[in-house]
Copies of this chain bind each other. A is one copy, B any other.
Amino acid sequence: MELIDRIRSARGAGEADLVITNCFLLDVLSGRVHPGTVAVSGGWIVGLDGGYKAARTMDLGGRYLAPGLIDAHVHLESSMVTVPQFASAVVPRGTTTVITDCHEIANVMGIDGINYMLDCAAEAPLDVFVMLPSCVPATPLETSGAVLEAADLEPLLGEPRVIGLGELMNYPGTIAGAPEVLAKLKLFGGRPIDGHAPGLTGNDLSAYIAAGPDSDHECTTAAEAEEKLQKGMYVFMREGTGARNLLDLLPVANADNSRRCCLCTDDSHPTDLLGRGHIDSLLRMAVGAGVSPLRAVQMATLNTATRFGLSSRGALAVGYRADMVVFDDLESFGVSTVFKDGRVVTTDGALTEAPGEQRSVASSFNVAGFGANRLRLRATGKRARSIVVEPGQIVTGTSLTPVAVQDGFAEADPQEDLMKIAVVERHGGTGNVAVAFVRGFKLRAGALASSVAHDSHNVVVVGCTDADMTAAVERIVAMGGGQVVVVGGEVKAELALPIAGLMSPLTVEEVARGVETLNRAAGDLGCALDDPFMTMSFLALPVIPELKLTDKGLVDVGRFEIVGPFTD
């Protein structure tokens, strides 16, 4: 819409596209909830007064009209579906904009992966803004599918959807002034730079902020959030599938600082998206915890738009995009209608039209020299350093466990809850395979494997026998990525994730059913974990204490170095 047409429309010349009446506006700018009228033309809000003629009038029957919700920080890949399918799930919940850090697909496919997300984003009925991943690979202790330096990211700065640098997980390198980190910080100077500094405090936190990051979504306590707010960070309060911090952090937000608080999900699995919802569920929690509806909505709209410089989003005002959501009330936040760019895009909780082309990508799988013999582990010590999984935690423990040895090779021992775990490199054909032991799965038989394994997303497999583990990995490779349960050489459940080994082309509902089937099949094998595939996805992440396995070997996270699988 040309500027002149917008002005004319606002002046009331000719017909507006749409006038919305009989509603209460969540007016995040003037800080009030009040009755109002909204006139829309060409995708923009052009007026808030009466007296506009329009091609269409909608009477909201006294419901509440709010700006479309914004997720301040999400890794879309964690939903295990593509951008259009993600949009199908979240837009009917009122989300019209997300800020995504395509850290996962970039670790698999590099710039091609980022471009894939940008291409998908262009078509979805959801504004997807991209923070370029800052840490590919996440650590030098693993093999990722790409290495992205500042010079690799620079050509993407001109993309209109690219708005900043994604969560800078390498805070030790930042504080130490590592040149490759500084090069990225300088490249993104003046743009939003998201932080990731769990537990960082005192002068180390100041050094990290001085370097550039001015947001953090890793706070777990009010004191941590308070310190980060004071020192200059926006605090993104997170409530996702893996990490649920909202209720602990909400008490920090007050009348004079809540503008610096935003809501985010970080990672949401398909079952959660369908069950709990998206940012709408955070609104319910916040209001349930005593935050005023207006302030909660500000945290999900205006505050985030302001932090990211999205100046025409996040409010119901003239000159803003007509991205709007109709809530039945300000307690349940049940959504009856969603407008994107002034058009009604949902009906009965679903999108009214297809959310854009389903794009595929060529498989990037490149596994070399894998076979059952690669899973054998020669017993070089009396006790195995075993990763100990705790239900519901991504932090692991360590146990030193005597293992059964046969022909010089250490064996899994289901009766002692001792499984083998392996990570198989899948990007560069290095042939890397690392093997160790893990406790806590309590499988009686069989194996589970997945190509979703933060952050490098190599294939992780846990099982009772080398044969089933081998079959599981081979099935993953054959699918070009996915998750599988195998027992006795037979596939009991599987979900193909052919898009970078991370995402399915199916709908969220189908993927959620697939995940449930996998979990049930794992349960049938005795698995003690509610969501063993989510647990597995963090077992190869060498930045979370205390013992993890990458394709390069067992990582003592505290010492940040590779250790042997056995000790005396």
Contacts and interface: CB of A to CB of B under 8 A. Distances in A.
Interface of A: 3-4, 6-12, 27-32, 44, 46-49, 51-52, 174-175, 177, 182, 185-186, 190, 202-204, 206-207, 209-212, 214, 226, 229-232, 254-260, 292, 294-295, 298, 306, 309, 311, 315, 317-320
A51 B318 contact: no
Contacts of A6: 210-211
A202 B7 contact: no
Contacts of A28: 256
Contacts of A47: 203, 206
A46 B210 contact: yes
Given A306-B306, A318-B232, A31 B207 contact: no
A319 B210 contact: yes
A384 B562 CA distance: 97
A202 B49 contact: yes
A3 B318 contact: no
A53 to B, nearest CB: 11
A134 to B, nearest CB: 15
Q: Which of A30, A52, A177 has the most CB of B within 10 A?
A: A30
Nearest to A234: B29
Given A47-B203, A231-B317, A318-B232, A257 B29 contact: yes
B317 A232 contact: yes
B257 A256 contact: no
Contacts of A260: 29-30
A131 B52 CA distance: 34
Given A29-B230, A231-B318, A232-B315, 9 more contacts: A29-B260, A30-B260, A31-B256, A32-B256, A44-B210, A47-B203, A214-B311, A214-B319, A309-B309
Nearest to A303: B259
A206 B3 contact: no
B4 A232 contact: no
20 contacts: A4-B182, A6-B210, A7-B174, A8-B207, A10-B207, A11-B204, A29-B230, A30-B226, A30-B229, A32-B254, A44-B210, A46-B210, A48-B230, A49-B203, A206-B318, A209-B319, A232-B315, A255-B256, A259-B259, A306-B306
B10 A203 contact: yes
Contacts of A298: 256
Contacts of A51: 202-203
A380 to B, nearest CB: 41
A7 B204 CA distance: 9
Name, among A6, A52, A177, A254, the residue most crowded by chain B CB atoms within 10 Å (CB to CB).
A177
Contact of A185 (B3, B174, B182): B3
Contacts of A317: 209, 230-232
Contacts of A204: 11
Contacts of A255: 31, 255-256
A12 B203 contact: yes
A49 B11 contact: no
Contact of A210 (B9, B212, B226): B9
Nearest to A211: B7
Contacts of A202: 49, 51
